[in-house]
Amino acid sequence: MKKNIVFLTLLLLTKMVFSQAYNGLQKMNGVSQKVYFSASAGERARKILDNVAKAEIYFEKKLKVHPDYTLLVLSPSDWKIYAHPNAIYGIPHYLQDGRLVVASENNDFWKRNTPPVDKLPEAQVRKLRATYLDKNGQVNLTDFFDLLAVHELGHAFQKAAGMLGQRNWLSELLCNVMLHTFIAEKNPRLIPSLTVFPQVTVAGFPLERLKYTSLEDFEIYYNDIAQKNPDNYGWYQCRFHVVAGQIYDSGGLAAMNNLWGALLSHKQKLSDLELINLLKTAHPALDQAIANWKK
């Protein structure tokens, strides 16, 4: 009995510490997920959760794992308290303690990386405006960045499965393959929001703004790129989105399932050659997409 009381006290204490951890934020009520958001970001949080919750159900069915995560939708001032200390405002990210962090407001990072409509070919401008125009008549990437919460959810699934991602670029690519597959299969009307910005960026990003471009660089300088070169990091992610689209278009749902299964079946770090062979056998679309990276 005494043991039970101690146990109960501990439970209460844990619960208290947990709720105190986000006591500057509002908790979303009436949902089974753990969701906290900044004042006046409730509507955005509901919109973002809508996709995340549907994606969670979808991935759980396909991958048979249950992730533990806490979705945080943050204003710039709350970001300073609850996000990764080295992540600039607007860059969505996942932390090992399960925090899945996204911005609640349009911001400098998104604006700076919005393709310059005055310098682009007419066809691309038309596509951008048709996809992302906001009520002020500006190209606004909010609808794209909101979808990235599902990419971060992909990291939570990889962690729950105990997956060794083999390479940083492959873990990131897998998250984008998961995101693209989910949107294509379950919410295809959002495909333009997900694909137009990365496609235009990859086609026309000013190369002088890129310090790193190869997959090898991404591996070696991952922390430097992610924390000190966010625009360069964004360019890599755009390329991973484009590659993920190519993988889905030629391999469908099977490509995601096969890549997931292949990575899960190896608990040791593979050599480059072993990894290439694994990707080849997992799905031809994967090998092809990686080979295309250098072209």
- DSSP labels, 228-264: H-HHHHHHHHHHHHHHHHHHHHHHHHHHHHHHHHHHH
- DSSP labels, 98-136: SEEEEESS--HHHHHTS--GGGS-HHHHHHHHHHHB-TT
The residue among 128 and 289 lying less far from Zn ion, judged by its C-beta, is 289
Q: Residue 256 CB, nearest distance to Zn ion (Å)?
A: 16
Tokens matching residue 97: 């303690």
The residue among 128 and 175 lying less far from Zn ion, judged by its C-beta, is 175
* Cα distance between residue 220 and residue 231, in whole Å: 17
The residue among 91 and 196 lying less far from Zn ion, judged by its C-beta, is 91
The residue among 128 and 194 lying less far from Zn ion, judged by its C-beta, is 194
The residue among 74 and 148 lying less far from Zn ion, judged by its C-beta, is 148
> Quick check: 193 and 147 in contact, CB under 8 A?
yes
* Cα distance between residue 236 and residue 198, in whole Å: 10
Q: Residue 171 CB, nearest distance to Zn ion (Å)?
A: 7
Q: Residue 178 CB, nearest distance to Zn ion (Å)?
A: 10
- The residues of the shown chain that bind Zn ion, judged by CB under 5 A, are 172, 175
The residue among 65 and 117 lying less far from Zn ion, judged by its C-beta, is 65
Q: Residue 175 CB, nearest distance to Zn ion (Å)?
A: 5
DSSP H helices, 133-228, are 142-160, 168-186, 191-204, 215-220, 222-228
Q: Residue 291 CB, nearest distance to Zn ion (Å)?
A: 23
Tokens matching residue 4: 């039970």
* Cα distance between residue 7 and residue 36, in whole Å: 27
Q: Residue 94 CB, nearest distance to Zn ion (Å)?
A: 6
